[in-house]
Structure 1
């Protein structure tokens, strides 16, 4: 997985954005595409050739390659205790109380061994 950030020269908001997304979406191996119109940057994440993305966009836009690097993956808890603590903090902060179940012990119940 790699993250490619490109700077495009886009003049018109909607039509340029639509054209850029259409051109880039034809490259195989993409996971996500995002456009920041304020900074005129296009971010592409996936297993693809960065030069194939640039080649597609240079047909219609002035394109600068800003950065190419590994995409950051979400951090995974290192142990089960960290995961449980994270979930308890999440549940506590949003007021979620997990259901508690009462199991009645019946000494005369049927047990299959």
Structure 2
């Protein structure tokens, strides 16, 4: 089980929805949450954090904040 927190430069709900839709296509993701105030996306599940961040970087400025493994 991994937990990724990434800062994603989304500016409105439409971009937020699109970013979450892109990430939900990855296998093994159990939960997604986006805090629009801090522009932080939290992803939990059994997935490759590097692939998720690289996919987001194709459309948005993205910075990996933390990755936890349990």
Query: Under TM normalisation by the shorter chain, which class is it?
Result: over 0.9
The alignment's C-alpha RMSD in Å is 0.9
* Contact residue 7 and residue 63 of structure 1 kept, 8 A: yes
For residues 56-87 of structure 1, the C-alpha deviation after alignment (integer angstroms, 9 at most, x for no partner) is 1011100000000135xxxxxxxxxxxxxxxx
Greater strand share, 1 or 2?
2
- TM-score normalised according to structure 1 size: 0.60
Alpha-carbon shift at residue 14 of structure 1 (Å): 1.1
- TM-score normalised according to structure 2 size: 0.94
User: When the two structures are aligned, how many residues end up with a matched partner?
Assistant: 70
Q: Greater Rg, structure 1 or structure 2?
A: 1
Gaps of 5+ in 2: none
Q: For residue 7 of structure 2, what is the aligned residue in structure 1? A: 7
Q: Which structure has more RCO (C-alpha within 8 Å, separation ≥ 6)? A: 2
Gaps of 5+ in 1: 72-113
* Contact residue 31 and residue 45 of structure 1 kept, 8 A: yes
